[in-house]
Amino acid sequence: MPSQLNITAATAEPALLDLPWHLPLENWPKENIASLPKGLSRHTVRFAHLGDHVIAIKETLFDLAKREYEMLRRLEKLSIPCVEPFAIINNRADENGEELPAVLITRHLKFSLPYRAMWSQGLREQTAKRLVDALALLLVRLHLVGFFWGDVSLSNTLFRRDAGKFAAYLVDAETGQLYDSRLSNGQRENDLEIARVNIAGELMDLVASGKAASELDPREISQRIVDKYHELWKELTAIETFADSERWRISRRVQRLNELGFDIEELSMSQDQDLHTVKIQPKVVDAGHHARRLLLLTGLDVEENQARRLLNDIDEYRLANQRPGIDEEVLAHQWLSEVYEPVVGAIPAEFTGRLEPAEIFHEVLEHRWYMSEKKGSDVPLIDAVRSYVAEILSKRRDEEALIATTTESITLAEAVPSGLIVVEDDDDSSDWRDRV
């Protein structure tokens, strides 16, 4: 190993020194490579084993690696969903002393999938819409903190299942810029147009390769991110005017923001001189309203829609176990030990990597509802768990460490290997239990 190798890491990890940095990424031996699904990239990107976890390594110029590393750290501090920056390495050289590119290292986001992993018999229209909706929400969150992405696309995003929907995470911040003030309308619309064009191209590529359902319209889906973004932005930032007698609309506005998953830092209110109308404008502080509440109540750290579903189940548990003088926190911990943990603990060890525990719990509740509807009476939760494991979970692929059929590195210039990855799809138009 060359003595001049320079490693800057967020945490101390001596095992980094054991990786073959004297080799170009595309030449790394198989024993170092973790075969996981990757999106397309203009750089060489590979996954590697490091201790008991997996890292993503991208070869690039040192200045670009350093800038992106620092940008991801800043976004992390702002609670933006993004991959975790791990290290940057420069001054690499091969055995002949020839210079090798610097690398940016990020932690692999468990249970995440690139959009190209969302097909089975072709990416379905409803799944494509949910991916775009998740990306629209991510873009709104980025713009609220003053981040201009500059390269918005499905390829630069990872997706995690979130109670039947998806949560989007930023992967590539190479072109991004973080401003101290709110972005101008022109900057936001520029990002949106980049998103619309990139998404249309990505979906057209899937259609042309036969990896998307025939009814999928790339132009319609790509326009959806523009419409969804404007809808969210208006709800989060618009000034609302109403009659003085309709003050209940203040609480309703806050409730709508909470339902979208956002908390507000302050609410600006003004009343006109004739006292007939009131204007309000919320200042949104952050997304993750339900996730934060669940974390405080139970210690469970999950996605926003998963948190909403689990909180609803806690509410049902509280209604069924009402006792005078007992507070919400005590009941929440009872629910955790008597309901949630027994369900998660009942999953056989060989299936625990199929889905996140919170997503499994959500799907068990869905499965129980279908079983109860078919039977005409309530089905015990433990019976629903056994049936779910046998009929559904056992047929899924692992999403914690989903194995691809190739270990080749992927760059933008390379074709996507046929059959790179096959996982079950989501479709609102059919019974979710029938999906492969």
Mean pLDDT in residue range 322-334: 81
Average the pLDDT over each of 38-42, 228-232, 315-319 and give the range with the smallest value: 38-42
How much is the pLDDT for 140? 92
Instruction: Dihedral sign for Cα 205, 208, 209, 213, please.
Output: positive
Mean pLDDT in residue range 271-285: 66
How much is the pLDDT for 363? 92
Smallest Cα–Cα separation from 166: which of 130, 141, 195, 139?
Answer: 130
Identity of the amino acid at 159: F
- pLDDT, tens digit (0-9, with 9 covering 90-100), for 182-225: 899 999 999 999 999 999 999 998 888 888 877 889 999 999 99
Which carries the bigger pLDDT value, residue 82 or residue 312? 82
pLDDT value at 2 more than 90: no
* Dist CA 128 CA 133 (whole Å): 9
pLDDT value at 146 more than 50: yes
Which carries the bigger pLDDT value, residue 132 or residue 120? 132
How much is the pLDDT for 193? 97
Residue 242: strand pairing partners: 278
pLDDT value at 405 more than 90: no
Mean pLDDT in residue range 235-255: 76
How much is the pLDDT for 39? 55
Mean pLDDT in residue range 117-144: 84
The torsion angles phi and psi of 398, rounded to 5 degrees, stand at: -65, 135
Confidence band (pLDDT; 50, 70, 90) for 271?
A: confident
Contact 178, 71 (CB under 8 A): yes
Percent of the chain past pLDDT 90, that is, above it, reads 39
How much is the pLDDT for 416? 33
How much is the pLDDT for 420? 31
How much is the pLDDT for 347? 92
How much is the pLDDT for 417? 32
* Dist CA 140 CA 240 (whole Å): 19
pLDDT value at 152 more than 50: yes
Place of tokens 């900057």: 187
* Dist CA 235 CA 260 (whole Å): 9
What's the chain's average pLDDT? Answer: 81
Contact 35, 47 (CB under 8 A): yes
Which residues are CB-contacts of 327 (< 8 A; sequence separation ≥ 6)?
none
Percent of the chain past pLDDT 70, that is, above it, reads 82
* Dist CA 312 CA 317 (whole Å): 9
Return the H-helix or E-strand segment holding 52: none
- pLDDT, tens digit (0-9, with 9 covering 90-100), for 44-99: 888 898 887 889 999 999 999 999 999 999 999 988 999 999 999 999 999 888 99
- By residue count, the chain amounts to 436
pLDDT value at 402 more than 90: no
Confidence band (pLDDT; 50, 70, 90) for 249?
A: confident
Which carries the bigger pLDDT value, residue 125 or residue 408? 125
How would you label 134-168 residue by residue, b for 16+ Cβ within 10 Å and e otherwise? bbbbbbbbbbbbebbbbbbbbbbbbbbbbbbbbbb
Q: The pTM is what?
A: 0.75
